[in-house]
Chains A and B, each alone.
Chain A
Amino acid sequence: MEQTYTKDQALIQHIKEGDEASLIKIYKEYRPAFQQWAQHSYRIDEEQAADAFQDAVVCLYRNIVQGKLESLSSSLKTYLFAIGKNIIRKKLQQPVALETSELEVVEHLQADPIDQFATNDRQRLVARLMETIGEPCKSILELFYFRGFSMEAIAERLQYKNENVVKTQKLRCLTSLKNMVRERYQNEDFV
C-alpha cells in the first residue's frame, strides 16, 4: 500500500514537471481494468468506455497541473475510476451513486466530459482557431495556460533569451487571437 502511494505520488510529480510519458503510462496501466468495469457496470460499449476513460485521464492531468491535486487521499486508480464514473454519469445524464470516498474526490475537482466543457459558440470558435494559430504562439499558450509552466521555464524550453521576451510574445499571440475572434464575429461566419 505504502509502495503504491509512493509510486503514485512520484507519477504525479513527474506529470507536474511536464513529463507526459508518465501520464500515458497511467493511461495504459489502468485503461483495460476501467473499460472492463465500466462496460460491465453501465452496459456501455467498448468505445464509450474508452472515451470516458480518456476524458478522465485528461481531467486528471488538468487537476495535477492546476495544483488541485497535490497529494492523494486514495490510490491513483481509485481517483481515476471516481472521475471516470462521474464522467460516464454526465455523459449518460444518469444519476449514479458515488461512494463516500469517491464523493470526496469528484466534489472539489474538475470531472467533466470534454465535449461538455465549452458553454458558448465563441469558446468553440477559439478552439477551432487554435488549430490555425501556428508557432510559436501555440507552444507558448499551451505551456503557459494548459501545462502550467512559468515564463522562465518557457523561455528555457523554447530557447528564448529571457522571460520578458516570452511575456511580450504571449501578449502578441493573445492579441492576434482576439483580433481573429473579433474579425470572425464581424463577418458573422462563426457558427
Chain B
Amino acid sequence: MAENRFNQIDRYVSGLMADEELVEFEQRMRENLGLAEGVHLHRDILVGMELQFMRELKQRLILSDLPEKKINWKLIALIVGGVAIAAAAGYAVYYYYFS
C-alpha cells in the first residue's frame, strides 16, 4: 500500500500520469492534506537531489581544469640511483673494514 502510494506520487511528480489518473489524483490531493504534503516533500527531494548532483558535476568540471600530475620518472630514477650508490658504498666500507 505504502509502495503503491509512493509510486503514484513519484509518477505524478515526474509527469508520467495519464490524463484520467492525473485528474483523479489531483482531486485526492485536494481532499487529503497528508497526500498533498507527501507530494510537496517528494518534489523538494527531487529538486534537492538534483541540486546536489549539479554541484558535484560542476566540481568535476572544475577538477578537470587542474593539470594532471605526471609521474616524475627522472626524480624517481635519481632517488633509486642514489640509494643504490649509498648501499654499495656502505657495503664496500663494511667489507673493507670488517672482513
Contacts and interface: CB of A to CB of B under 8 A. Distances in A.
Interface of A: 20, 23-24, 27-28, 31, 54-55, 57-58, 61-62, 114, 117-120, 122-131, 141-142, 145-146, 171, 174-175, 177-178, 181-182
Contacts of A128: 52
Contacts of A175: 6
Secondary structure of the A contact surface, majority rule: helix
A120 B45 contact: no
Nearest to A120: B44
Specify the main secondary structure of chain B where it touches its partner. Answer: helix
Contacts, number: 90
A28 B67 CA distance: 12
A118 B51 CA distance: 7
A57 B65 CA distance: 14
Given A54-B61, A122-B48, A126-B48, A114 B54 contact: yes
A146 B49 contact: yes
